[in-house]
Amino acid sequence: MSDTTLALAGNPNSGKTTLFNALTGARQHVGNYPGVTVEKKEGIHVHEDRRFKIVDLPGTYSLTAYSLEEVVARDFLVNERPAAVIDIVDAANLERNLYLTLQFMELGVPVIVALNMIDVAQQRGISIDTAVLSRLLKVPVVATIARRGEGKAELIEVAERIVGEGIRPQGLDISYGEDIDHALAEMEQAIIAANLLTDVYPARWVALKYMENDEQILSLGRQADAALSASLEAIVTRVTDHIKATHDLYPEAVIADHRYGFIKSILQQGVLSVKHDRDRLYMSDRIDSVLTNRFAGPLIMLAVVWGLYQFTFTYSELPVAWLEGFFGWLGGMAEAYLPDGLIKSLIVSGIIDGVGGVLGFVPLIMFMFLGIAFLEDSGYMARVAFMLDRVFRVFGLHGSSVMAFIVSGGIAGGCAVPGVMATRTLKSPRERLATLLTVPFMNCGAKLPVFALLVAAFFASHEALVMFIITLVSWAGALLVAKLLRSTVVRGESTPFVMELPPYRLPTFKGLLIHTWERTWQYVRKAGTIILGISIVLWALMTFPGAPDAVKQQFDTDRQAVTVASPAAAQEIENAAEGATLSAAAQTLQGKLDGIAALEAEADLRYSVAGRIGTALETLSHWAGFDWRTNIALVGGFAAKEVVVSTLGTAYSLGAVDPEEAVSLSTKLATAPGWRPLTAISLIVFTMFYAPCFVSVVCIAREAGGWKWGAFSMVFNTVLAFSLAVVVYQVGTLLGF
């Protein structure tokens, strides 16, 4: 038996995700809607012998063609025809939430209203007669408390009944006033007669969308039947002119007024009774009077960001150490038990070091995501957008840009890929373009390992402070570049900031864990596939073709020479058992031999493909303090920023004196020649600003609508990063650092 599809829909903050989690548990699949990058979550709920496939539609307030989320939601409903839509309605916010419900009903889909957070409504003295509401709306209404899973069984039973008995929706014809009603009737007849779009949409709905000037339906209509579309548009123009002349309003305003009028009349027919003043202050408002206070608000905001750092760094320390230990042990085992040669080199230097370097940071990223999920789910993130809008506007951005910046790593640890996608919530193409071109400057989870490595090596005593400064610098850089872009390549007006401040809620533990798990898994998956592949390719680049025979022979000759010079010591080393203490003479000889081996390894690397590229770039990069090893790592970082770490790891363990000693990379860097704190700062600055990883570049190109923006972000960012790094290094050197 095939799955029965149910769609979950509703306003943002209505508890939709919580209900989705309650219904599907861990059986979820996260993907994208076809052709677009809006996230699509699916899960399975089994009820008796029926499997329900539950699809979580994007949260919206309306069903216009105004945002991509709304278009995706209504396209899904008309194209996939789910057996029913479970419309999650916030019981404490009935009036506004029913606005969307009406639009589902007008679209002719079977609706089940889940009256969620009924407990919160009751606490606020709001009582709702679900039976009357159900009778007046002519749809089933089920009271739920998604956080506790209450009502979900009943919801599924109602769905089962609708599916099992094949109950069709009764449809809903709201009166929009005489003028519009007449025009709609006239248009509906013409649409039915010509079958305009009626294979997917109800005729009256198409007429209504023409009246609302809906871009998507207008263009579909014009494609299907240009002549009919023109005559429908003529009717709309006639009505628009009339309404404009008599009421000084547009039809869409009249339509919205009547929808709200319809909702009010329903609620007044014994559905809703409110005990106290609805606008009285609740706990949430009292919290807001402190958290968004003119003086305390910004300070608390800084403290929250700071606290997130402390939380992340302190609690992830132990698991990070475990993972580093584990991969060190694994490398040691491979080193001891595998025969010398290319395979051993591949496994130790390519695979174990590469994967270990990336997975070692998983705990850090997990704690970071947990913190961010808490801020998002609690409602605090919206306050951040509210408080920062005035600031963002100065830079030609939008208060909601903050979300894209934060997802990308504005609070360190995000990822520019979902960040670039998060810019879809921005309605103005210009603010959106400026945001998506600057979000890659944020400290994504992949740059964190690079920063963490350098900070641990050179600024270990001030770890949290330095990471905090790095965040501030990336913000400043991103905002200034945004301003630069908005006054040059993406000039233009700014767009609306109409946003809900949801009540503060304590996030559910389950919701936080699912959210954290999804994002961390995304990172691990990327690490496990792209990074491993890149790590192996880089190993090959760094191993082949190796030093030429003449150079190799020179090393052999040198070895011969030192061995022949002290034959007794050579004999002793030859016969010595593992771990035995050598005589002074033998130790000196061993030291000399090790020195030669290190030089040989380094020569091999220098003569490899990667070494040649790195060396060639050195003439330019030495202005920023980077040697060929760093250059190789940075080139690798084009693929994904975390590759910088694994490449440095590979580069240094291949060229190291004693590969058996499991020294961690940061200790290695701290003592490596050519490295000092200023070099680390210069590299941090370069890593922060240079070309985004290719996955981000692909997303930027797709989201911005052209490869020219992808190319722009690669070239512009790299030039900017290099200029900044050179300034930092040269000025720092002049000042004596």
Partner 1 sequence: MRIPMRQMQDNQSGTIRAVRADGELGRRIRDMGLVPGTEIRIQGRAPLYDPVALRVMGFTLTLRNNEADFIEVEVD
Question: What are the residues binding partner 1 (CB under 8 A)?
Answer: 61-62, 64, 66, 92-93, 95-96, 99, 124, 126, 250, 252-253, 256-257, 260-261, 278-279, 285, 288-289, 292-295, 297-298, 386-387, 389-391, 393, 399, 427, 495-503
Could you tell me the smallest distance in angstroms from the CB atom of residue 70 to partner 1?
10
Which whole-number Å values give the CA distances from 72 to 28, 40, 64, 477, in the listed order? 20, 10, 10, 34
Among residues 84, 104, 103, 106, the alpha carbon closest in space to that of 167 is found at 84
Could you tell me the smallest distance in angstroms from the CB atom of residue 259 to partner 1?
9
Q: What amino acid occupies position 526?
A: K
Taking the least distance from each CB to partner 1, the nearer of 227 and 498 is 498
Could you tell me the smallest distance in angstroms from the CB atom of residue 660 to partner 1?
58
Please measure the distance between the N-terminal and C-terminal CA atoms of the chain and give it in whole angstroms: 72
Taking the least distance from each CB to partner 1, the nearer of 97 and 682 is 97
Taking the least distance from each CB to partner 1, the nearer of 50 and 427 is 427
Beta bridge pairs of residue 53:
5, 44
Strands 28-32 and 39-47, sheet pairing: antiparallel
Taking the least distance from each CB to partner 1, the nearer of 47 and 393 is 393
Could you tell me the smallest distance in angstroms from the CB atom of residue 390 to partner 1?
4
Could you tell me the smallest distance in angstroms from the CB atom of residue 13 to partner 1?
9
Other CB atoms within 10 A of residue 558 CB: 16
Hey, what are 23's tokens?
């219904």
Taking the least distance from each CB to partner 1, the nearer of 124 and 519 is 124
The residues near 533 (Cβ < 8 Å, ≥ 6 apart) are none
Taking the least distance from each CB to partner 1, the nearer of 393 and 510 is 393
Hey, what are 438's tokens?
């600057």
Could you tell me the smallest distance in angstroms from the CB atom of residue 93 to partner 1?
5
Note the helical H segments in 527-566: 532-543, 549-565
Taking the least distance from each CB to partner 1, the nearer of 137 and 643 is 137
Chain-centre distance for alpha carbon 466: 24
Taking the least distance from each CB to partner 1, the nearer of 493 and 660 is 493
Chain-centre distance for alpha carbon 222: 37
Taking the least distance from each CB to partner 1, the nearer of 93 and 646 is 93
The residues near 420 (Cβ < 8 Å, ≥ 6 apart) are 404, 408, 436, 439, 440, 696, 699, 700, 703
Could you tell me the smallest distance in angstroms from the CB atom of residue 141 to partner 1?
19
Could you tell me the smallest distance in angstroms from the CB atom of residue 311 to partner 1?
25
Note the helical H segments in 502-627: 509-526, 532-543, 549-565, 567-575, 584-607, 609-621
Hey, what are 623's tokens?
């202005």
Could you tell me the smallest distance in angstroms from the CB atom of residue 212 to partner 1?
8
Could you tell me the smallest distance in angstroms from the CB atom of residue 408 to partner 1?
23
How far apart are alpha carbons 424 and 692 in whole angstroms? 19
Taking the least distance from each CB to partner 1, the nearer of 354 and 399 is 399
Could you tell me the smallest distance in angstroms from the CB atom of residue 499 to partner 1?
5
Are the CB atoms for 668 and 357 separated by under 8 Å? no
Which whole-number Å values give the CA distances from 11 to 61, 93, 380, 439, in the listed order? 5, 10, 18, 27
Which whole-number Å values give the CA distances from 496 to 381, 431, 447, 493, 500, in the listed order? 18, 11, 33, 10, 13
Query: What's the order of all strands across the beta sheet hosting 141-143?
Result: 28-32, 39-47, 50-56, 4-10, 84-90, 111-116, 141-143
Among residues 636, 596, 631, the alpha carbon closest in space to that of 617 is found at 631
Taking the least distance from each CB to partner 1, the nearer of 126 and 454 is 126
Which whole-number Å values give the CA distances from 229 to 219, 251, 582, in the listed order? 9, 18, 95
Could you tell me the smallest distance in angstroms from the CB atom of residue 103 to partner 1?
10
Taking the least distance from each CB to partner 1, the nearer of 113 and 589 is 113
